[in-house]
Structure 1
Amino acid sequence: MFLFFLFFRILYVLAILFCCIFPMISAYFHLTGLDFALYYYMKKIINKPGEFFFFYNFYIISTFLVLYFVMYFFYRCSITFVYEDTFHHQPKLKTLILVGNLLVFIADSAFSGPEGLQHLSLASSMIRSLKDIPTANLMLLETLDLSGSDIQFLEGLNNFNFQLLKRLNLDLNSIERIGAADLQALQTTSGIELSFKGNDLEEVEPKAFQGLDLGSLDFSSCFSKMNTSVLLKGLEGLKTTKLNLGIYEDSPKSYVTSAGLQSFCNISVLQLGFQLQHFSDLTEISFQCLSGLQMLDLTRAHLSIFPQNLSNLPTLSHLKLDENRFEDICQIHAANFPMLTHLSISENNRDLFFTENCLEPLSRLEVLDLSHSGLSTKSPCCNKQLSGLSNLKLLNLSYNFAMNWEPLPFSSTLQLNHLDLTWVVYNLSSPSPFSNLLNLHTLNLSWSSSDLSSLPNLLKGLENLWTLNLKGNAIQSGVLTNGDSFNHVPLLEKLILSGCSITGLGKNVFKGLRKLTYVDLSENHLTTPSVSAFYSLKQIQLNFAKNAIAEVDIEGFEGLGETSSIDLSYNPLACTCSNYQFINWVKANANKIKHIQETRCNSTKQKIVNVDLHCTVSNHTLKLTLTIVVVIAVVLLLFSILRKRKCAAYSRL
């Protein structure tokens, strides 16, 4: 098998060299036997880290003389010419990727042969005109990627058949002008995802997109030479699900004016993005034409306040305000968004004051993300701050300042399913702050200084909890013995206790968790994988990576089910005769070992599965053992003789 693989690997390398050294010939030449080499080799490297992932499927007809691939991938092979009938022998070809080839000439019949080519990528091919691409055999095309070339005009776009096209990518070209005539062919189709990202547009004809029905339209970073108002005039009459008008960090500043936003009175859009844009004159009527909008993304839009009576956003359900400059949560004026179900104010650029009752108008809110925003409160948190949010299902308060909690801080949000308090140090005024959250399924308390050994009732009331993350919370005693804490969460399925300075586990600490399927005890100080602490090993994933485990007693491992696994990677495992049984067990149960390639001997760094131990009893050990046995036998014999003599003496009396 090794020689077989080596042979086809050599063929593959030769094929690549042939392609890269003789691009003009290889573009015309049809590989047959080498195709199989390429297929076989790629199947070997597929899914490896660092390798490009793609599938090669083929049909075998008679022998391997003819192979019909569904994908061809030629990445930077210096192909400059694609001649007639290059793919004539590939009727089943579905995907053709010619990325990074400086194409000078593509013959009219270059794509003849494939009966249903669906995906074509000519990205970074330096094509200057759309008219240079033959369209006769692209009737069934679904994806066309022409990004990163040098296309300057859209002349020739109408030559393509758009009946089945789903995605057209024209990113990072040199397109300066878009006219109504250029987009005429798109009038007969609907739902296409169209992208012009990174083109330095100078002019868009007014109402150029009138009558188009698109799935999405992306003009990100197209405003270095053109005002957003000019583009919005060109978009009048458009209907699209998603519209992106943001810019990038390295783009020149771009401003959105209230006057320009009035073009949305003639644009139908459901999802709108203005990432990194500046709003020069935001007023109460700025968004009055967005009456049908459902999702608005204003990430890093340099906002510090919303007008108090922002008009006409009755259908807005998702609002993203990440990385802005609000100082008080009241400054968003929540009453502007009565139908909101998702609100994100994450990574606010200034410390955010969590004022009481400011979110009360958002009675429909289901998801609230206030992470990384330097939250602070004047009074104990969080009932008044979350007042009115009775339908909230997910609350993310992670990575914020220390908080003083009320006895039951989440009484205003009793429907919570997911609560994230990562890196939030809280001061308790009761031992059971979550006792009324009967619907909570996921609780993240990682790095929050929650020591279960001193807070046995912390989890009280969480009868329906499925996932508990306690990563980074040091167990002061080192030994996790108090099983009472976990008796409060009988339905727990996933438990994370990594980085908790645990040195040992109590024998029955997890016995009450009968539904447990995943436990992470990595990055602790355990010297033995205490599998006896669990109720069952039939269906469970155990992570003991990065501990201090040297020797392993496999007696407890015998209960590991076929679908169970254990991770012992990055432990100082001893590859000596004292670990002989464990090493043999690993070899026989490799399918149950996670990260087996990183499970190595501490001294030699050799993979455990490759260790070959020959453990025999030495002459010295044998002599010592025999000596001990003889001594014990002599002692027992003397003891027996003395006892018989005593019994005989008593019998004479």
Structure 2
Amino acid sequence: MNFFTVSLIVYFSVGAGKSCTETTENQHYTCTGRNLSYIPSSIPSSIQTLDFSFNVLKRLRKTVFPVLSFLRVLDLSRCQIKHIENDAFHNVRNLTTLILTGNPITYFGPGGLNSLHNLQRLVLVDVGISSLQLQINNLTKLQELRVGTNNIQSMSLPPFMSSFKDFSLLDLHANNISVIKTDHTVLLREIGRNMTLILSRNPLSYIEPGAFKNIHLCELDIRSVFPSFAAQEIGLKALYGLNVKRLKFGKYNGGFRFHFSDTDYLYGLCSIYFQEVYYYIMERPNQPISFLHCMINATTVAVIGGVINKMEYVPFREIKELHLISVKLSTLPGKQLSHLRALEKVVITHNSAPIWADAFIDMPNLQYLDLSSNQITLYKCCTTLFSGTPQIRYLNLSQNIDIGFDLGGFDALASLEILDLHRTNVERVGYLPVLSSLKYLRYLDVSYSSITFINIFSFYRLKNLNVLKIAGNKFQGDVARYLFNNLTLLEHLDMSYCHMVELHPSSFKNLQRLRLLNLRGNHLMTVDFLAYPSLKQLTSVYVNKNSITTIPLHVLQKLPANLSEFDLSSNPIYCSCSQTDFTLWIIQNQNILKQPENIFCKTFSQSLDFRATDFDIDSCVHMKRLAIVLSVFFITVVVLLSFLVYRFQFYLQYCCILLRGYRSPGQQECSYDAFVIFSSYDEVWVMNELMENLENGVPPIQLCLHMRDFQAGKSIASNIIDEGIMGSRKIIVVVSQHFIDSAWCRFEFELAQSRFMMERNANIIIIILEDVEERKTKKVLGLHKHLKKNTYLKWSRDPLSNMRFWIRLRKAIIATNQ
């Protein structure tokens, strides 16, 4: 067996173990689209939901499924199943939902579903069945049967379903039902009181009159079932006696074209009792239509499509909700609705043409008003427009053209709790406190409303505000620092895409209940404000798509303890060994970071970008250690060099002098016979004894004494070299205790020795002025060694010894100079 074969075996072995994905631990698995022909053994017996759709299980036998006693939901959509044998689901008998959508089933065993006594939802959409006479008599707990997109021609249910007391939904959409007779609906009279019946997109050409009489349904959906205008008019009349809570009719799209010449084309609705009616008109008729007069008893009326240039007067008795969606209104029907005092909810949306605003008056119970996605323009809002709606809690004016607000414009809406103005050009909100009367407002959305916040009192008195969305607007100067000071109950703040470069740390100082802060899409470079102690309740922060390169350690350490979602993605993070604290924090906190895989390190080349989570922290630790070692070494060397420079400063000066140019006695004429090296404490002896006897003797000997012969203004070291050592033929060293202790004396003596070493003929005459301990002579470099190897003179106060001393000294100076 070669290496390639072994590799394939290993690959498929590993792949088999990973053929399904665990979405909820030990409970929910998905195996969709894996081309599997068996249920993987790796699935635990504790599983409750299994999505096995888009695989290959052509024949279902009893042995296909392992024992999964806790399995409740099984999705086998489009698994190419053709045969379902008896007891095929024996090992998954506790299912409550079985989905078989899109399988070309040619054989359904009579006992195929016998084991599923607990099944509540059965989906057989697009499986090729042609009848509702299914072998499901054991499914007594069945609540939903979905058999849409098949070839069923009759809605007649099997008689045994009369015992299905919990049955509540029959979905027959897109079948081939063309006729409904009275004997087809017998069972609905027994089980239909809380049932939803979906017949949409069937070619229903005939309904026997009375077929639905005394039938009670929760919902009836007959959208796009009538093949012609005449069939619809006749079909609605045939539904007389039907009692339904929610009726949906009209068209999805296409089909026949309505001709609205008959004003009573919906007359059949008057014989149907319904509470909610949803009428879909997917065409745009050329003239207004009248259709509401048979809906006067409804509590909810929804019209989708059509043209209502002017709302007709309809004496609705119990209407509470009115929805007019895409109906091409030319005027808001405020006055036309004013007589509907019980109306609580009005939704008028998605008008593509400009619409005039008419005042809503005398509507004391109206609480919900949605006027979004129209073409409304209001120059002064909203005192007149909503003067008769004191109970409005929800107002949506979003996605309109232009709305201007004046001071006091919301005085008539003092009870307002939710105000949505997003993507509408809003005027005067940013520089006037026009919202100040909305003391109960909890939700405000003015995102992308072309607002520039200038006034720090724009949200003045909105003390109950919980959610504030101001994305896509602008702030002038430092107004954001004070704008939110009184919003102490705010929990959600969206300031995304507001062109902000910085935020003062105290901008959110009073937002102690803030839980979500959205700042994505700005130009922020720092997030220091997150360290402010008032933000301790924050759980979600979004600062992605900004210009953040790093976050200091002290800010990271003060981040809110409850933070569970932090989005830093799409920022130019600076990853380097100098920023390891931040990079390490990113690596260690991926559990709270949203999209950590999209946090990239900034590099000079975009092609070299890499994830911050892949940054090698260990290499930085080694480099930091190396830097510390090198720093310690450098400091040690500097300290050592400093010590050496201090210790040998005189010699360094001497070396500098020598580097400037050395002149040997042969190159210059000596000015003195001898240079005297002595301590200033011994100056009296030198002046009274040494100078007196040598310079005044015969022949006279010229001495070089530093206090007398050194040139003024010249450095001491230069004088010692030029005038003393290099300008004299001999060197006399007067050794005493003071000499030993003098740094300058030691320096001069060592320089004299260096001349001796360089010329090999320079004599040093040492005079011991007073006895010095031998160990102390070792303090002067070379002195102890010189005394051991060379004859020296010793001063004595004895007259005879004194006479011999001067004779020997004079002889030593004169003799060696000849």
Residue 470 of structure 1: aligned partner: 470
Separation of aligned partners in 1, 2:147 and 2:508: 57
Q: Is the 8 A contact 1:5 1:41 kept in 2?
A: no
Query: Which string of whole-angstrom CA distances, capped at 9 and with x for unpartnered residues, describes residues 537-591 of structure 1?
Result: 3543111111111222232222331454321112122333233222222232232
Quick check: 1:342 aligned with 2:345? Answer: yes
Q: Which residue of 1 aligns with 2:196?
A: 193
Moved more, 116-125 or 593-602: 593-602
Matched, 1:354 2:357: yes
Matching residue of 1:405: 405
Q: Residue 114 of structure 2 is aligned with which of 112, 120, 126?
A: 112
CA shift, 1:468, in A, is 0.7
Cα distance in 1 between the residues matched to 2:553 and 2:48: 36
For 2:468, what is the secondary structure of its paired residue? strand
* Aligned residue among 494, 497, 516 for 1:496: 494
The answer for the alignment partner of 2:212 in structure 1 is 209
The structural deviation recorded for 1:150 is: 1.3
Give secondary structure in 2 for the equivalent of 1:198: coil
* Distance (whole Å) between structure 1 residues aligned to residue 452 and residue 644 of structure 2: 58
Equivalent positions of 1:17-96 (< 5 A) are 17=35, 19=37, 34=39, 36-38=41-43, 66-68=67-69, 69-96=71-98
Give the corresponding residue for 2:484.
Answer: 486
Q: 1:306 aligns with which of 311, 324, 333?
A: 311
| Partners of 1:207 and 1:45 in 2: CA distance | 45
Q: Distance in 2 between matches of 1:172 and 1:77?
A: 22
Summarize the Cα distance change of 1:330–1:67 in structure 2 as closer, same or farther, 3 Å threshold. Answer: closer
Aligned residue number for residue 458 of structure 2: 458
Secondary structure of the equivalent of 1:412?
Answer: helix
1:156: Cα distance to partner?
Answer: 4.7
- Which runs of 5 or more residues in structure 1 are unaligned? 20-30, 54-63, 640-653
Distance change (3 Å), C-alpha of 1:434 and 1:18: closer
Q: Which residue of 1 aligns with 2:249?
A: 245
Q: Between the two structures, name the one with larger relative contact order (CA 8 Å, sep ≥ 6).
A: 1
- Equivalent residue runs for 1:530-541 within 5 Å: 530=528, 531-533=530-532, 535-541=534-540
Instruction: Tell me the alpha carbon deviations over residues 151-174 of structure 1, each in whole angstroms, 9 at most, x when there is no partner.
Output: 122245545344221111101111
The separation in 1 between residues aligned to 2:425 and 2:475, in whole angstroms, is: 16
The structural deviation recorded for 1:352 is 1.0
2:18 maps to what in 1? Answer: 9
Unaligned runs of 5+ in 2: 1-10, 22-30, 55-64, 647-818
Match for 2:330 among 318, 327, 332? Answer: 327
Q: How does 1:451-600 map to 2 (within 5 A)?
A: 451-452=452-453, 454-477=454-477, 482-530=480-528, 531-533=530-532, 535-559=534-558, 560-600=560-600
Is the 1:200–1:225 Cα contact (8 Å) retained in structure 2? no
CA contact (8 A) 1:318 1:342 kept: yes
Map of 1:315 onto structure 2:
318
The DSSP-based 3-state class of the residue aligned with 1:126 is coil
Partners of 1:635 and 1:508 in 2: CA distance = 50
2:325–2:347 CA contact under 8 A, matched in 1: yes
Partner of 2:152: 151
What secondary structure sits across from 2:475 in the alignment?
coil
Q: Which residue identity does 2:361 align to in structure 1?
A: E
Q: How much does 1:82 deviate?
A: 1.5
2:275 aligned partner: 270
**Could you report, residue by residue, the CA deviation over 1:306-331 in whole angstroms, capped at 9, with x for unpaired residues?**
22x323x1211111112122222247
The equivalent of 1:649 in structure 2 is none
The normalised TM-score by structure 1 is 0.83
SS of structure 2 residue aligned to 1:508: helix
Secondary structure class of the residue paired with 1:229: helix
Please name the residue that 1:443 is paired with.
Answer: 444
Does 1:140 find its partner at 2:141?
yes
What is the CA distance between 1:258 and its match in structure 2?
Answer: 4.5
What is the rounded CA distance, in whole Å, between the counterparts of 2:49 and 2:142 in structure 1? 30
Q: CA RMSD in A?
A: 3.4
Q: Which residue of 1 aligns with 2:783?
A: none
**Distance in 1 (alpha carbons) for counterparts of 2:535 and 2:279:** 52
Q: Secondary structure at the match of 2:527?
A: coil
Q: Which moved more, 1:514-523 or 1:75-84?
A: 75-84
Larger helix share, 1 or 2 = 2
* Conservation of the 8 A alpha-carbon contact between 2:396 and 2:421: yes
Map residues 628-639 of structure 1 onto 2, 5 A cutoff. none
Q: 1:136 & 1:372 partners in 2: Cα distance?
A: 50
Assess, with a 3 A threshold, how the Cα gap between structure 1 residues 17 and 135 changes in structure 2: closer, same or farther.
Answer: same
Q: In structure 2, what residue type is equivalent to 1:493?
A: E
**1:163 counterpart residue number:** 165
Aligned to 1:184: 186
- The percent of aligned pairs where both chains have the same amino acid is 23
Comparing 287-296 with 541-550, which one deviates more in the overlay? 287-296
Matches of residues 637-652 of structure 1 in structure 2 within 5 Å? none
Counterparts of 2:382 and 2:345, CA distance in 1:
19
Counterpart of 1:61 in structure 2 is none
Q: TM-score if structure 2 supplies the norm length? A: 0.67
- Distance of 1:634 and 1:474 partners within structure 2: 61
Contact residue 536 and residue 562 of structure 2 kept, 8 A: no
Q: 1:497 to 1:45 in 2, by over 3 A?
A: farther
Q: How far 1:185 moved relative to its partner?
A: 0.8
Q: Distance in 2 between matches of 1:579 and 1:3?
A: 43
Change (3 A) 1:633 1:417: farther
Q: 1:359 to 1:557 in 2, by over 3 A?
A: same
- 2:623 is aligned to 617
Q: Is the 8 A contact 2:100 2:124 kept in 1?
A: yes
Looking at structure 2, the residues matched to 261 and 635 of structure 1 have their Cα atoms a distance apart, in angstroms, of 107
Distance 1:404 1:272, change over 3 A: same
1:293 positional shift: 0.7
Q: Letter of the aligned partner of 1:472 in structure 2?
A: G
Paired with 2:462 and 2:32, the residues of 1 have a C-alpha distance of 63
Helix, strand or coil at the partner of 1:230 = helix
Higher Cα Rg, which structure: 2
Q: Displacement, 1:149?
A: 0.9
Deviation at 1:621, TM superposition (A): 8.2
Preserved CA contact (<8 Å) 1:83 1:110: yes
For 1:281 and 1:208, the matched residues in 2 are separated by: 34
Cα distance 1:280–1:136, how it changes in 2: closer, same or farther (>3 A)?
farther
Distance 1:633 1:390 in 2: 88
Match of 1:292 among 284, 288, 297: 297
SS at match of 1:130: coil
